[in-house]
Structure 1
Amino acid sequence: MEIIKIPKKEGIIDRTTGKVLNRKLRVAAYARVSTMGAEQLNSYESQKKYYYEKINNNPEWQYVDIYADEGISGTTDYRRASFMKMIQDALSGKIDLILTKSISRFGRNTMDVLKNVRLLRDNNVAVLFEENNLNTLDTKTSEMLLTTLSAVAQQESEKISEHVKLGLQMKMNRGELIGFNRCYGYRNENDKLEIIDEEAEVVKFIFDKYCDGHGANGIAKMLTEQGIKSPKGNDKWNDSTIRGILRNEKYKGDVLQGKTYTADPLSHKRYKNLGEADQFYVSEHHEPIISPEKFDIVQEILKERCGARVNGRRIGNVGRKFAFSSRIRCGFCGNCFTRRTVVGKDREKIPSWSCTSFAKNGKENCTDSKTIREEMIKEAFVDSYKFLSLNTNFETEEFLNLMQDTMNENNKQDELERYKKEFSNIKSKKSKLIDLMVEDKISENDYNEKVEKYNRKLEILENKIEQLKLLAEDKKSISEGLQKVKELLNSKDIMDQFDQEIFNAIVDYVIVGGYDENGLIDPYLIRFILKREFDLSVPKDVPDEVVIQNNKIDLNSNNVLVDFINTRKYFSYERDEN
């Protein structure tokens, strides 16, 4: 038996024909810098010069390009546009060899490094890691050494991440401003927040309108109609932007640091901090735009409107924390009422409601409004309901069926599914943009514009989906209330105490304060505006002082979650506070 060694061919092999190509090795280089600041820019230019000279000084090499990414960690590759373009060019047959300083420059995530190196090697493209003198086409040692070095690089990345995290926590503990993102109304000058007067006026407008009873959606429409640009420079404001401003503690001069945290140093994905990591609250950190008192009032209103949840589902209409949250309007100025606690003579805490305009500015803005006890409104509803059920001639079953039919007509499930599908489609389109860019089908500017456009659409759709989900929850709550009304009316029992489910089912909102039949001011006049047309035919023996008024009221549908009909009749119940 004779064994003859066939030596390997020197040069580049054409894998289609098996012949040695009589051409130079096409060489590219990959560099990565932390930022494009002055110091790092010099580093980038130095790397470019180094690789340009190294490639062109080798007579067997042909210069292709130098690929570089800025401000992006090596622990993930899906955002590294230049890196991905280099891989695409290599797979397209434009590159034979890639030079890079170290494994950490190529990627600190072990799996990503190995994935890309193997992908390139399968297509006969080598990667030369200069610091380790490692050529990935050298199969003798490359795979084992590459795996070991990548694991070490990953461990170092995690260690660095822990050091950075510890350093940031120490700075937060000292009250230093960390990771300041653009905050509408402020600019960051040498780590000090300075007020931008024009934007600060918009912030004040938002807080004032919300205190006056306007919702986030309504305020967003006002700003859009006024032609004021949103914080992102868009023509249209979203209600989520308004709520974000209303909740931002920076507007009262404080800073909460550590709102998000990084769970995995490899993916760098950030999560909202719900207690998984330390937070640092710095009071009186900078000049406020909104007074702490007004900011706290807004937080109370937000809590009342947001409401509580039971078993993951919001309770009550619009999920209100209190029975009358966002449901009482001032009969004099039209603003919403806010809940407050009044201390009585015996230091007893009495839940009460006041006009927000009156509570904020006193009689100057709402002359005739007065604070009213919560118990008084509840008693008025119980008495009104008794009168409604005992003295009006309407068909219980017909009324309840009418209410249920209207809710069925307003079924938004199909609309919800349509929005969800659209949301999914846009996310898919957004994820494909990076492929289009690396394939040179779109420019980097087009990529950024399209990403911004898709982000705006996703934000709008997310808001719509959330609103429809809440509407579905509230409709379930109302249905339960209607069933309770039906059972109560059919049983002929008399309601002797306030029932929030029944109140939510039949009352749209309450008007407190107004003018009696003689035109005299009565701050304790209470009117319950019903959600549906009632056939309220009053028997002749009903006393004159108890009146069913058939006035039609034109309502702004933005203030009505379940908008059954645009005109409603209301039941007026008058009660003296004493």
Structure 2
Amino acid sequence: MAELSRLGREQTETSKELASIVANNVRIFFYREDKELNYDSAVDKFMVNALIFAAEMERELASERGREKSEQKFNRGEVTGGRVYGYNNVWNFKDGAKKVAEVGAIKPTDVKHAEYEINEDHKTVILAIHKMYNDNHGMKAIAKTLNQDEKHKALNKKYFNGLRFNSPAYGTKKGINYWSPSTIRKILTNERYTGKIPWGQYRKGYKGGTKTRIKQAEVQYLAKPELRIIPQALWDKTQKRLTECQKKYIRSTDGKLWGNPGIRSNYLLTSLAKCSICGSNISVLGGKDKNSRKYGCSHHHNRGTEICANNHRASVPTMDERVITAIDEQVLNPEIVSYAVDLALHKLAERRKAEPKRPAIIERAKKAK
């Protein structure tokens, strides 16, 4: 490798990985300096850990410099992140020219900065979503309407003039172009549409050597009235209904709190089965009691036939019984279990024969940790 920081810039995790590598008799060389890493004596380990400490300090300082620069751009009203549905990113060139950045376009080197500009097509969709929600339509119904589901064609014509609009993820790395209830919720709760640009909602952090986003308690806002999309009256009405719905559905009809970690799923296939057409999870649909509920495609149910045409439904009790019976007959059969155990032992013996030193290497790695 070029230098030790290429292995990692987090002291605890990098030291563990380095010890594991050395324990497995792997030698490390630095090609820039043309020398081998020594990690045998106490002095060697101290020097290596000092280098790792310096690498982590540099990472933290670089992160702080980047955050300070981002805050300066925010205070000037410039784009500090990626794209936001409802707005165009407008490139401001050094010669004073301006250009709307196309989705997926690479920023030219002579761009001075980027600013937000309202996208009129997106604005039409956002306003219609808020109006539809305040007309007592749920997020699932709005998503299906935007996806031009067959049963929601009349609503699509009423609120969206019968048109099919691209979703916020269209043209991005995700590559999807359908609306979901979660997308609708984000649009209904995004305070940016009131002309308040947020900054500092999340901060980059590291947990166990993995980069994470940490939500911050304090968020800065920059007032940009020219970027307001939702009138205040409509925004207040939307938030009021969201609050009322949250209070209404925070408990189930029998008084139990939703999301209790002590309550397990009552359904066998909800976390196992997938739709054979679109690959989404199979979920439990409809019914006031377990005997009347059915398994079905979650994408078809939540997003409509345009996204997945699989409208097949199967009785929960019937399917559960069939699956359990099949497992009992084909998996838990004593002959099959015995065969599987014999096969596993045979493969293990072959591996031990091919790699006789492997157990000792594993033991050394465990002790090193």
After TM superposition, the score normalised by the length of structure 2 is 0.52
Q: 1:417 aligns with which of 245, 265, 269?
A: 265
Q: 1:159 aligns with which of 61, 64, 67?
A: 61
Distance 1:184 1:260, change over 3 A: same
Distance 1:300 1:128, change over 3 A: same
Post-superposition CA distance 1:11-62 (Å, at most 9, x none): xxxxxxxxxxxxxxxxxxxxxxxxxxxxxxxxxxxxxxxxxxxxxxxxxxxx
| Number of residue pairs the alignment of both structures matches | 233
Distance 1:264 1:138, change over 3 A: closer
Structure 1, unaligned stretches of length 5 or more?
1-98, 308-316, 321-405, 427-452, 465-578
Asked whether 1:238 is paired with 2:180, we answer: yes
Asked whether 1:272 is paired with 2:215, we answer: yes
Identity of aligned residues (%): 28
* Counterpart position of 2:237: 297
Post-superposition CA distance 1:245-271 (Å, at most 9, x none): 011122233312122223548543113
- Secondary structure of the 1:201 match is helix
Task: Please give the residue correspondences for 1:75-474 in structure 2 after superposition, counting only pairs within 5 Å.
Answer: 99-100=1-2, 102-130=3-31, 135-136=36-37, 139=40, 142-179=44-81, 181-190=82-91, 191-224=114-147, 225=149, 228-233=165-170, 234=176, 236-264=178-206, 267-273=210-216, 275=217, 278-284=218-224, 286-307=226-247, 317-319=248-250, 417=265
Distance 1:422 1:106, change over 3 A: farther
Cα distance in 2, alignment partners of residues 288 and 127 from structure 1? 56
Aligned residue type for 2:28: V
Aligned residue type for 1:272: K
* Counterpart position of 1:64: none
- Secondary structure of the 1:155 match is helix
Post-superposition CA distance 1:117-140 (Å, at most 9, x none): 333333443222356665225745
Structure having greater relative contact order (Cα 8 Å, sep ≥ 6)? 2
Residue 416 of structure 1 and its aligned partner are, at CA, apart by 6.4
Distance 1:218 1:193, change over 3 A: same
- Secondary structure of the 2:227 match is coil
Whether contact under 8 Å (2:5, 2:55) holds in the other structure is yes
- Secondary structure of the 1:282 match is strand
Aligned residue type for 2:47: L
Cα distance in 1, alignment partners of residues 8 and 68 from structure 2? 23
Residue 282 of structure 1 and its aligned partner are, at CA, apart by 1.4
Whether contact under 8 Å (1:121, 1:136) holds in the other structure is no
* Counterpart position of 1:400: none
Residue 108 of structure 1 and its aligned partner are, at CA, apart by 0.6
- Secondary structure of the 2:29 match is strand
Cα distance in 2, alignment partners of residues 105 and 412 from structure 1? 42
Whether contact under 8 Å (2:78, 2:115) holds in the other structure is no
Whether contact under 8 Å (1:253, 1:283) holds in the other structure is yes
Distance 1:258 1:318, change over 3 A: same
Whether contact under 8 Å (1:117, 1:127) holds in the other structure is no
Residue 219 of structure 1 and its aligned partner are, at CA, apart by 1.1
Post-superposition CA distance 1:530-549 (Å, at most 9, x none): xxxxxxxxxxxxxxxxxxxx
Whether contact under 8 Å (1:192, 1:286) holds in the other structure is no
Cα distance in 2, alignment partners of residues 138 and 263 from structure 1? 29
Cα distance in 2, alignment partners of residues 157 and 412 from structure 1? 38
Cα distance in 2, alignment partners of residues 300 and 412 from structure 1? 23
- Secondary structure of the 2:230 match is coil
Distance 1:162 1:131, change over 3 A: farther
Post-superposition CA distance 1:166-204 (Å, at most 9, x none): 44344434444322x332232212222233343332222
- Secondary structure of the 2:198 match is strand
Whether contact under 8 Å (2:169, 2:177) holds in the other structure is no
Whether contact under 8 Å (1:206, 1:242) holds in the other structure is yes
Post-superposition CA distance 1:122-160 (Å, at most 9, x none): 344322235666522574564332122112222332233
Post-superposition CA distance 1:545-564 (Å, at most 9, x none): xxxxxxxxxxxxxxxxxxxx
- Secondary structure of the 2:221 match is strand
Post-superposition CA distance 1:497-518 (Å, at most 9, x none): xxxxxxxxxxxxxxxxxxxxxx
- Secondary structure of the 1:269 match is strand
Distance 1:144 1:135, change over 3 A: farther
Aligned residue type for 2:89: N
Cα distance in 1, alignment partners of residues 24 and 221 from structure 2? 54
Cα distance in 2, alignment partners of residues 122 and 412 from structure 1? 44
Aligned residue type for 1:253: G
* Counterpart position of 1:393: none
Cα distance in 2, alignment partners of residues 294 and 248 from structure 1? 13
Cα distance in 1, alignment partners of residues 269 and 60 from structure 2? 38
Cα distance in 1, alignment partners of residues 267 and 78 from structure 2? 42
Whether contact under 8 Å (1:135, 1:142) holds in the other structure is no
